[in-house]
Amino acid sequence: MKKIFLLLFLFSLWAWPSSGLALTADSQPAASAQILEQQIQKLDFSQVEKVINEIDREMGNYLPKFSFRQMIDDLKNGRFSWDLKTVLAGIGKYFIEELIANSALLGKLVVLAVVCAVLQNLQSAFDKGTTGKFAHAACYLVLFTIALGSFSLAVGIGREAIDRMVGFVLALLPILLTLLVAVGGMTSAAVFHPFIMGSLSVISVILKNVIFPLIFFGAILSIVSQLSERFKVSRLAGLFKELSVICIGLMLTIFIGILTIQGAIGSVADSVTLRTAKFATDTFVPVVGGIFSDALETVVSYSLLLKNAVGIVGLVIIFLLCTFPVLKIFAITLVYKIAAALVQPLGDAQIAEALETMGSYLVLVFAVVSGVGLMFFVAITIIIGTANLTVMLR
């Protein structure tokens, strides 16, 4: 009963300025617009808009100009101002520019690989022992110093992308949970808030201090194993790679699984509370009980509309925060794959295999960033779906 009375009190505070607007059918369109506008004014979008301004500043050449509030206004009115073809064309343009920017890296890798192959052939032809070996080893070390530098750059891009996604979700979460409470999802909001906040902190720490170091050390050990014929650590490198894959898989499965279960349980409990509150208002509040109940339902409906609009915009932003860094990492990965394919016919199988190995570890970095983006995408979708299920079950 305490929960029901608290829910009624919260709805009365939320709906009181606009409850009189829902009394007549003639004023319904104006009431709808005013309710939505009042709810938007009560929400703090400053942190979310800060992230969007950063995206607009960095990616403004590839995306249409956009504002968080404007996108919400468009969605709640049933339209979306972005043209999908324009967005896809901008993303494609960005990817092509990244490939062109990394063509210098491809040239360096191929030229050094050719020099290594020539030195190896000279060593075989003239049977010069230590001099030829030292020259080949020096060239090999220069080649993979460059490779490790670009690999570190890719890992840094992945770290920054994950930090941005975590920061954005932390900024968006209070808004979504506030609107979740506004549609009657008090239990769901109470369960989601500590779990998601705690999980985001844990996920960020695990990614930075466990998964990315495992990938990086695995790549280094693979190169060392390729460099020396006697000192082989490829098994240890493979172990690090497998551990990183297992960690990210477990993390995604546990997070999404628990969030889904909590959302299902919370939505059922909230629907019962909301239905009971509506019945109590209709039955026990004389004269104005029905009017207040209708106003409450109106506010819930428009809160649901606003929450869905905010959630959809959040999904779009997560997609953008994930897509551009992932494309940059993929461009570097493609350079290594192309370099390995070009070097192999030259006869230096050792370098070709090492470049292919570096490419495979970059694919793993690509997969980690994409997986985290997918995890946040699903998490926001679950929160949206929980509120929709709560209202549907009422």
Q: Which residue has the higher pLDDT, 260 or 39?
A: 260
pTM of the model: 0.79
Q: Which are the contacts of 239, defined by CB distance < 8 A and separation ≥ 6?
A: none
Residue closest to 171 by CA, chosen among 317, 62, 61, 18: 317
- C-alpha to C-alpha distance for 391 and 284, rounded to whole angstroms: 22
- In this predicted model, what pLDDT tens digit does every residue of 101-155 receive, in sequence order? 888 888 888 887 777 777 766 666 555 556 656 766 777 778 778 888 888 899 9
Q: How far apart are CA 290 and CA 245, in angstroms?
A: 56
Which pLDDT belongs to residue 394?
A: 55
Residue 50 has pLDDT above 90, yes or no: no
- Spans of all domains in the chain: 46-53+147-393
Which amino acid type is present at position 252? L
Instruction: Return the pLDDT at 256.
Output: 82
Q: Give the pLDDT confidence of 216-240 residue by residue, as tens digits.
A: 888 888 888 877 667 778 788 888 8
The alpha helices in the chain, defined as continuous H runs, are 2-19, 28-42, 46-59, 68-76, 84-101, 103-126, 130-182, 186-206, 212-227, 234-284, 289-343, 349-393
When pLDDT is averaged across residues 77-97 and rounded to a whole number, the result is 81
Locate 147 and state its tokens: 């490779």
